Amino acid sequence: MSGQSSGCGFLMSVVVHGDSVLNEQEKELNQRLRRLYPAVNENETPLPRSWSPKDKFSYIGLSQNNLRVHYKGMTPRHTQAASRVLLLHRYMGIGLSAQGVNMNRLPGWDKHSYGYHGDDGHSFCSSGTGQPYGPTFTTGDVIGCCVNLINNTCFYTKNGHSLGNDLRQQSQYPNLYPTVGLQTPGEVVDANFGQHPFVFDIEDYMREWRTKIQAQIDRFPIGEREGEWQSMIQKMVASYLVHHSYCATAEAFAKSTDQAVHEELASIKNRQKIQKLVLSGRMGEAIETTQQLYPNLLERNPDLLFMLKVRQFIEMVNGTDSEVRCLGGRSPKSQDSYPGSPRPFSSPSHKASSSQPYLPGFDSNCCNGVTSNKSHSSSPHSHKPCPPGSGSTLPASDISLNGSRSQQPISSSDVDMEVDHFTNGVTESSSNGFLNGSSKHATEPDDCDADMEVESAQSKRQLCGGSQAAIERMIHFGRELQSMSEHLRRECGKNSANKKMLKDAFSLLAYSDPWNSPVGYQLDAIQREPVCSTLNSAILETHNLPKQPPLAQAVGQAAQCLAIMARTGSGSCAFASVDDYLH
């Protein structure tokens, strides 16, 4: 959860200022940014939320939480370029630039810098001479900038109207920041990075592209040769059913699709039996059965055995393990109610792949708005937004500059505005919206446990089912586990995962109500699934069968591909989510 910690780091600056209203705004901002940049992982590539107080020229002042930019040069400086029409027009530019460009110049004039200037409406592309692009803009106008990473185009907007693609600004440089440049004393520009709804209907624009991308996916040509595609799908389904030991279904499916099953039915049934035991919390029996059916498996995998034993300990605390149940005087037979169906795609390996961070996609930086108030000539200075973090690279940003108006006219006498230097970039405190394997499970309805005894225990849960004998058994088992752990360490060396597992499990005893303790999640039936899946994979491996079904692998791979696309700045991945295709 590195996202959370880095988010907290950002949040600090807000808390220091103690502005609760701002917190609300931040929340809205974060929500909007998440909608606008569905594929951006801000842990890797934070989005700009305000102007950077570092990347600016000294004549530029910042205020309003680094969202308002003003020009505070007192005496107009005459540079060659600036001496033209200053008495008539606002010298102001909006655009994009790479980090490290000259901050003493308007965006667009230098290399790796692009801009749209208000005085002549021209577009500047790393050059001092502009090309006619759009209308001029001045006080009160709201100017926006949007970079589309799908077709690599950039367009500006004025008062909510798209001015059309700027053909010269094909943004091949991925690391561009929204930039604004001013050179008129008293000039003020307010920026909107998503703090407020954008005047231009960017959501509607995104809808169009989402539809386009999805149509592209739907129309993607598959297998030319007849039947090939179908038989491949059938194989995948069959292997999935076998993997998760849905014997009857797998058999029926194989029969109707005329396929061979690559595992003996008896073997599938054995695995099914073990899985049922694990998923219903009867770990002792599960271990025993595994040892009977696959004599050498656990001996060869001491770490696996240790994991199973730790789980058994947890189930003892829970009161569900067979050993403590007997002591609790309940019939072990009555608990056979777990449906025994592993959830789809819950194998650990898939989890690993889907928890890969998802990256950017479509738009990224939204900023801006322009208000200008004074016209006197002076030299240009650029100003860039917060660099997202030292050394981090901004995902080839879609910059959606857009702005809000400032209503305060500032006379030339009070140009010397106070400048507040503070950062308030804030990252979302929860994870960035994309669900990884485990969190996804947590949101699923927990139907499996519906009619188990555990349910009754939940209303009046007691340690080990409330039996004193069971508690003693559990404590004894704990000691055995401890010695097993020590033994393992001597034999195989230190294993931090094992150590943590054991520590977490033992921590349950530190609380009077373990279920409601910070470590209580371990008691949740959902935690049986990774254990079950790992055991299943280990059994399959001994039979030289894949430890992960091809279907899950395909899903994982698709998710991984999207993550790579996102990292390389391929925008269309923002509108393609694997989840959209899993119904």
Partner 1 sequence: GICNGETVSVIIVLMQEVTATSRHYVDRLFDPDPQKVLQGVIDMKNAVIGNNKQKANLIVLGAVPRLLYLLQQSSSSLELRTECSVVLGSLAMGTENNIKSLVDCHIIPALLQGLLCPDLIFIEACLRCLRTVFISPVTPVQLTSTIFDIPCLISKTQEYITQIFSHCCKVFTPEHQTVLFNHGAIQNIAPLLISPSYKVRMQALKCFSVLAYENTQVSMTLVNVLVDGELLSQVFVRMMQRDQPIEMQLTAAKCLTYMCRAGAIRTDDSCVVLKTLPCLVRMCSKEHLLEERVEGAETLAYLMEPDVELQRIASTTDHLVAMLADYFKYPSSVSAITDIKRLDHDLKHAHELRQAAFKLYASLGSNDEDIRKKITETENMMDRIVSGLSESSIKVRLAAVRCLHSLSRSVQQLRTSFHDHAVWKPLMKLLQNAPDEVLVMASSTLCNLLLEFSPSKEPILESGVIELLCSLTQSDSPALRVNGIWALMNMAFQADQKVKGEIVRCLGTEQLFRLLSDPDTNVLMKTLGLLRNLLSTRPHIDQIMSSHGKQIMQAVTLILEAEHSIEVKEQTLCILANIADGNTAKELIMTNDDMLQKIKYYMGHSNVKLQLAATFCISNLIWNEEDGSQERQDKLREMGFVDILHKLTQASDPNLSDRAKTAMQQYLA
Rounded Cα distance, 338 and 278, in Å? 10
Partners of 132 in beta bridges: 122
Cα separation, 470 vs 157, whole angstroms: 71
Binding mask 132-151 for partner 1 (x = CB under 8 A): --xx----------------
Strand partners, 556: none
Q: How many residues bind partner 1 (CB under 8 A)?
A: 16
Q: Which is nearer to partner 1, 134 or 425 (CB)?
A: 134
Q: Considering the complex, what minimum distance in angstroms separates the CB of residue 201 from partner 1?
A: 7
Q: Is 508 exposed, middle or buried, given 0-12, 13-18 or 19+ CB atoms closer than 10 A?
A: buried
Which residue of 100, 128, 140, 164 would you call a contact of partner 1, by CB under 8 A?
Answer: 164
In the complex, least distance from residue 35 CB atom to partner 1, rounded to whole angstroms: 15
Phi-psi region of 186 (alpha: psi -120 to 50; beta: other; left: phi over 0): left
- With contacts defined by CB under 8 A, name the span among 156-164, 300-308, 386-394, 523-531 that binds partner 1: 156-164
Using CA atoms, how far apart are residues 435 and 441, in angstroms rounded to an integer? 9
Helix axes 468-492, 496-507, angle to 10 degrees: 170
Q: Minimum distance from CB of 583 to partner 1 (Å)?
A: 20
Q: 572: which residues sit within 8 A by CB, 6+ positions away? A: 150, 213, 216, 361, 565
Q: From the list 90, 122, 158, 441, which residue makes contact with partner 1 (rule: CB under 8 A)?
A: 158
Which is closer to partner 1, CB of 123 or CB of 553? Answer: 123
CB of 108 to partner 1, least distance (A): 19
Q: How far is the CB of 396 from partner 1 (least distance, A)?
A: 23
Nearer residue to partner 1 within complex by CB, 211 or 334: 211
Site for partner 1 in 26-45 (CB under 8 A): none
What is the closest distance, in whole angstroms, from the C-beta atom of residue 185 to partner 1 in the complex?
29
Q: Which of 94, 106, 146, 163 binds partner 1 (CB under 8 A)?
A: 163
C-beta closer to partner 1: residue 201 or 336: 201
Q: Which is nearer to partner 1, 115 or 395 (CB)?
A: 115
Q: Which of 34, 77, 112, 161 binds partner 1 (CB under 8 A)?
A: 161
Could you tell me the smallest distance in angstroms from the CB atom of residue 166 to partner 1? 10
Q: CB–CB of 147/170 below 8 Å?
A: no
Half-sphere exposure of 113 (CA within 13 A, CB side): 27
Q: Which of residues 384-413 bind partner 1 (CB under 8 A)?
A: none
Residue 59's beta-bridge partner residues?
none
Q: Which is nearer to partner 1, 158 or 528 (CB)?
A: 158
Stretches 74-82, 157-165, 332-340, 385-393: which one binds partner 1 (CB under 8 A)? 157-165
Does 196 bind partner 1 (CB under 8 A)? Our answer is: no
Output the 3-class SS for 360-416. Answer: CCCCCCEECCCECCCCCCCCCEEEEECCCCCCCCCCCCCCEEECCCCCCCCCHHHCC
Contact 106, 413 (CB under 8 A): no
Of 200 and 306, CB closest to partner 1: 200
Closest by CA to 427, choosing from 20, 19, 45, is: 45
510's tokens: 């530190």
d(CA 248, CA 266): 12
Interacting positions 201-220 with partner 1 (CB under 8 A): 201, 204-205, 207-208, 210-211
Residue type, 299: E
Determine the interface stretch with partner 1 among 199-207, 364-372, 424-432, 492-500 (rule: CB under 8 A).
199-207
Binding mask 266-305 for partner 1 (x = CB under 8 A): ----------------------------------------
Buried b (16+ CB within 10 A) or exposed e, 550-564: bbbbebbebbeebbe
- Which residues of the chain form contacts with partner 1 (CB under 8 A)? 134-135, 158, 160-165, 201, 204-205, 207-208, 210-211
